[in-house]
Amino acid sequence: MNLGEKQELTAVKKVEFGMYLAENPEDETRVLLPAKQVPEGLRIGDKVEIFLYRDSIDRLIATTHEPKLVLGKLAVLPVLEVGKIGAFLDWGLEKDLFLPYKEMTRRVNAGDEVMVTLYIDKSRRLCASMKNLYDLLSKDSPYKAGDEVEARIYEFSDNFGTFAAVDDKYSAMISKHEDSSHLRIGDVIAARVVNVKPDGKLDITLREKAYLQMDSDAQKVMEVIDSYAGVLPFTEKASPEVIMRETGLSKAAFKRAIGRLYKERKITLSEHAIRKNS
């Protein structure tokens, strides 16, 4: 019998409070399927598909109810309540699923929806985790470059960027060169696919196509120049890190915006600064 998985077991003994199930009729290891969940007409020797978990007093128990999450998969589940040691999630079964604080990538609140996977803890109990989701996401999406998608943020990395799950299912990432500082784990965003990697993972962006994005980028640069009293103390020759920190734009986007503003004669360029024209 496999905890946390759907499986087919055999009915071996009927009792007043349910039906005992086993992998084989002669097995001594048995699990109870409560009476209210025993399918009508189930007889000794019949097979029935169940999910195996632990009840409110940690007894191994079978259910014919459909769980929203099984081992080796991930799901987005609503937070029902938050307590002193963690949160409890609705996963479609009578006993709520426990999400320990140590398995959270951010603090959650009742009413939130969180993407989680299922694991067995040291006490052989099923628990949820917001960690280690990357390898569980699918890489065979139907999307191509240019497609508009919806994605849920689930992890941030200084080295790579912002990890997201398109349709809560497909592996995707926003480049570290794009400003994601306004996002938080759990946010659902509208994005655009910019590239499909050979392994099927998606590169996505919050930004529109360059020629559409330029207006808002140029406006953002003008606001930053204004914040420096009309004289920006660096140019497009500054490091990508400085440009990102000060404007929230990649170096390429910054250069496009500066070029746009210069062409419109809204700024003057010097060797070490950019000045707003009056």
260 with 254: CB under 8 angstroms?
no
In this model, does residue 211 exceed pLDDT 60? no
CA 131-92-128 angle, to 5 degrees, is: 15
* Helix axes 240-247 and 210-227, enclosed angle (nearest 10): 80
**Cα–Cα distance measured from residue 165 to residue 152, given in angstroms and rounded to the nearest whole number:** 5
In this model, does residue 202 exceed pLDDT 70? yes
Question: Which residue reads 């998608």 in tokens?
Answer: 149
In this model, does residue 181 exceed pLDDT 90? no
**Cα–Cα distance measured from residue 230 to residue 258, given in angstroms and rounded to the nearest whole number:** 14
* Per-residue pLDDT reduced to its tens digit, 139-150: 999 999 988 888
CATH number of 137-205: 2.40.50.140
Q: Which of 246, 227, 248 is nearest to 235 (CA)?
A: 246
Task: Give mean pLDDT, residues 19-36.
Answer: 90
High-pLDDT (> 70) share of the chain, %: 97
pTM to 2 decimal places? 0.69
Task: Give mean pLDDT, residues 91-109.
Answer: 94
Confidence of residue 188 (pLDDT cuts 50, 70, 90): confident
Q: Which CATH architecture has domain 6-63?
A: Beta Barrel (2.40)
CATH number of 74-129: 2.40.50.140
CATH class of the domain whose range is 210-276: mainly alpha
Question: What is the reported pLDDT for 212?
Answer: 52
Confidence of residue 178 (pLDDT cuts 50, 70, 90): confident
List Cβ<8 Å contacts ≥24 apart for 207-212: 207/178, 207/253, 210/253, 210/256
Question: What is the reported pLDDT for 256?
Answer: 82
The reply to whether 74-129 and 137-205 are identical in fold is: yes
Instruction: Compute φ and ψ for 41, nearest 5 degrees.
Output: 90, 0
Indicate the SS3 state at residue 155.
strand
Instruction: Compute φ and ψ for 138, nearest 5 degrees.
Output: -75, 150
Burial grade of 223 (CB within 10 A; 0-12, 13-18, 19 or more): exposed
Confidence of residue 32 (pLDDT cuts 50, 70, 90): very high
Separation of CA 247 from chain center: 27
In this model, does residue 131 exceed pLDDT 60? yes
The residue ranges of every structural domain in the chain are 6-63, 74-129, 137-205, 210-276
Question: What is the reported pLDDT for 56?
Answer: 78
